[in-house]
Structure 1
Amino acid sequence: MNTTIYKGIEFLIIFILLPISFAMTYSIKLKVSIGIIGFIYIIYILLRVEKKKFKIASGLKWHIFWKQTIFKLIVIAILTTLFVWLTDNELLFNVLLNKPKLWVFILFIYSFFSVYPQEIIYRTFYFQRYKGLFKNETLFVFVNAIIFSLGHVFFKNSLVLVLTFFGGLLFAMTYKKTQSTLLVSIEHAVYGCWLFTVGMGGMLGFPA
């Protein structure tokens, strides 16, 4: 399971073939089943093969993390607010203002049941499992952003692919610096929740 060939095939299946297949038309139950089996496999590899321990690392520099995250959020907030206002201003903060209970519910479900599993797969697993396959760290991070974007291809929306590519770059760099699934999950949740809040949730599958 630790040979280069095995890891290469594993990478191809998990990060290329499966996301592309999810964009195809077939039973949603089968897609969910495949996704669950794949996630169980990833957890097994992390715990039993890679000997990864899930724990909150000591010495995390929370003040630096929040300072950088809030700064990036402000930039993202300005750009996305302008985008929604210019393209469809009726969507601007629509769910927050008209369906606050749904807004709170979706933010909770998204943060814990979507973001965290994604970060285990695309950051924790990817960085732990495939770092040795790349000699160039810049390429390693770039590929992570590419596959993270590809993981959203089932939305069939070019803007989603662009946003998730840049999001993938941000999250990969955060994980590279912190080596913390918790911190990168918080960052991911903050930006994702903002997109839903500002009115861009529809293209990302959030119910409105």
Structure 2
Amino acid sequence: MKVAVIGATRGIGLELVRAALADGHEVTALVRDPASLAEKSPRLRIVKGSAEDATAVANVVEGQDVVCDTLGTRNVTGEVRLFSNAAEKLAAALQPDQLLITVTGIGAGDSKGHGGFLYDKVFMPLVLRRMYADKDRQEAIIRNRVARWIIVRPGFLTNGPRTGKVRAVTDLRGVTGNKISRADVAEFILAQAKSPEFIGKTPLLISPISR
């Protein structure tokens, strides 16, 4: 399988690159600085460019079976347009038979209000408001303009090990997000890339102890 990863140098994207290579797949990674991606493999193709550049995105998307958008940002003070700009470029480049798997997060779309009191009432409005406004724009572009998509909304991310224990929840009644490792999120994405079960859905990923 040919898998493209956008946002491959850290976090979920880096974990996904490692998992896909270990599973024997061909991986194409879009990165701003190729030197920042330490992974090496004959099956890893690195493309230098920005997720907001139409030419770079089209180059990465071409010929892929699955495209995974795992972009993140440390910008929590200024206006954020990274996610929606990248979604626009992806929507224009993807073919109808290609699958897009995008990571947004808890607080996007109808997962808003499922993060617990401090997250929902304090952290989200004071710190993450601009970021999640753009994630909402990103999700709307994907829903309206991409033929085959899965939007993955992880709970609270950690750098813990892969456990293989993930709940993917689409009925959020009574559910509050909890901690989940980036490695577990990457494993879920790879599993969906190989055998998609959530096309056209927005699963919230949490650990099994949450209800």
Q: TM-score, normalised by structure 2?
A: 0.30
Q: Which has the higher relative contact order, 1 or 2, with Cα contacts under 8 A spaced 6 or more apart?
A: 1
**Structure of larger gyration radius:** 1
TM-score by length of 1: 0.30
